[in-house]
Chains A and B, each alone.
Chain A
Amino acid sequence: MVDYRIDRRSGVATYVQIVQQTKQAIRLGLLVPGDRLPTAREVVEATAVNPNTVLKAYRELEREGLVEARRGLGTFVRRSLGAAPADSPLRAELEDWAARARESGLEREDVAALFTAVLETHYPEQAAHAAPAHTPQGDPS
């Protein structure tokens, strides 16, 4: 199950936060194919965000082929994401690297900056999001 945390001061649109957190959960193996996402009602009761925002996020995930809505049953994860589940060798390597970075006296911010810089080099333009365009509202169910 995924527990969404909405950060009001992040400047990131709420529906984008839900999309990102769902992907993160899939990436980390917290959600695997066949798992049901919380219903819109469950999400909004916990986060107090607008139901249409949650539906918009779910539609975005559906558009990307990550989840599918089954009428009357809920929204289910269709596939996993990336090749780095929580216990993969890549993660072990990263853990190893992080430990060495710390030993060599790097601060948390230094590590983050370094990581982001490398990420930018290898994955350009990944973080950009289209401006929120209005999509017709569906039937909230």
Chain B
Amino acid sequence: MTVPALEADALGKRFGRRAWALRDCSFRLPAGRVCAVVGPNGAGKSTLLALAAGLLAPTEGTVRVLGARPAAARPRVGYVDQDKPLYQQLTVAETLRMGADLNPGRWDADTARRVVAGGDLDPDRRIRVLSGGQRTRVALALALGKRPELLLLDEPMADLDPLARHELMGLLMGEAAAHGTTVVMSSHVVAELEDSCDHLLLVGGGQVRLSGEIDDLLAAHTRVTAPATADLSPHQVVESRTTGRQLGAVIRPSGPLPADWRTGTPTLEDLVLSYLRNPAAPALPPAPETLEAAV
């Protein structure tokens, strides 16, 4: 397990002449994690996942997937596109049969069937007539049936109702628990991923703003309320706002804080929003390598 599931080094992707979708991204995702790729729409999340899936070639830098080039790792990686593309003219059962045919030797028909069965889906219905949620289910069944070691999901829960979302997330977590599958899923809704993910990759403006274990990231930051005259300068300030005589801030303390400041641990959503609201805030350096060494 010393081989990271995903490792990017100065990764960049440009579309056309000028538009950089992603630039200078470096991060490392250990295997066995459930990672949330969070960021506003257009931040580069989809580009990052497509690069990892070997669907796009990087313009600069490198990305390693399960220790290999993305193209070489493709058989061991599952990917679900944001639009959940499927062949409209096939039925649900035919789609799963195609999955079995295209992934010889890897296909796990039981898992695929189980994912679809949860949705009360008639196997003889055509993909064309399915609802958004049902299509997501079939797309996930294809990706999970392949029994991937790394699962890349681009906005997987976007068009699901809360019940289906909870059920499918449970199913994903079950797969991760049973097979040690590394899951990477993007979303622009942080709350949706908070309980399910243990690793965070915050992408904003084509850059990786934060990367690491969620617990570590939260522990490294402090939410403080202090007098407006307080001097924050010894600490790294992510965000600070003065209201009247009071100052509220999210900081990365670089030493003990004065006793008269009220402090607390930010929630994940607080943390993400404070970084996104402040594009100038310094990116947190990647988590120390000791995490892998301990395993």
Contact = CB atoms under 8 A, between A and B. Distances in A.
Interface string B239-275: 0000000000000000000000000010000000000
B280 to A, nearest CB: 28
B53 to A, nearest CB: 23
Contacts of B195: 6, 8, 14, 47-50, 53
Given A140-B32, A140-B180, A53 B170 contact: no
Contact of B170 (A40, A46, A133, A136): A46
B224 interface: no
B170 A137 contact: no
B291 interface: yes
A69 to B, nearest CB: 14
B284 to A, nearest CB: 15
Interface string A50-62: 1111100000000
Given A48-B169, A134-B216, A53 B198 contact: yes
Contacts of B171: 45
B32 A50 contact: no
A32 interface: no
A48 B173 contact: yes
A8 B194 contact: yes
A134 B219 contact: yes
Interface in B1-39: 1, 30, 32-34
Interface string B150-193: 00000000000000001101111110111010000000000100
A139 B198 CA distance: 15
A52 B34 CA distance: 9
B173 A139 contact: no
Contacts of A39: 177
A45 B170 contact: yes
A134 to B, nearest CB: 5
Nearest to B31: A137
B290 to A, nearest CB: 9
Give chain A's interface secondary structure class.
loop
Given A51-B176, A134-B213, A44 B198 contact: no
A136 B294 contact: yes
A14 to B, nearest CB: 6
Number of chain B interface residues as a range: 20 to 34
B198 A136 contact: no
Interface residues of A, number: 27
A76 B30 CA distance: 29
Interface in B183-240: 191, 194-198, 213, 215-216, 218-219
Contact of B265 (A46, A131, A137): A131
A124 interface: no
A137 B197 contact: no
A119 B180 CA distance: 42
Pick the most buried of B198, B218, B219: most chain A CB atoms within 10 A of its CB: B198
Contacts of A49: 173, 195-196
A45 B195 CA distance: 13
B176 A140 contact: yes
Interface in A83-126: none
Given A45-B170, A134-B216, A51 B34 contact: yes
Given A6-B195, A45-B170, A134-B215, A51 B295 contact: no
Contacts of A139: 1, 32, 180
Contacts of B177: 39-41, 44, 51, 54, 140
* Closest 10 pairs between A and B when the two form their complex, measured CB to CB: A44-B173, A136-B294, A51-B177, A48-B169, A45-B174, A48-B170, A41-B177, A45-B170, A40-B177, A49-B195
Interface of A: 6, 8, 14, 39-42, 44-54, 131-134, 136-140
Given A131-B219, A134-B216, 18 more contacts: A8-B191, A8-B194, A14-B195, A39-B177, A44-B176, A45-B171, A46-B170, A48-B173, A50-B173, A50-B195, A50-B196, A52-B32, A52-B33, A52-B34, A132-B218, A134-B291, A137-B32, A139-B180
5 contacts: A46-B170, A51-B177, A131-B219, A136-B295, A139-B1
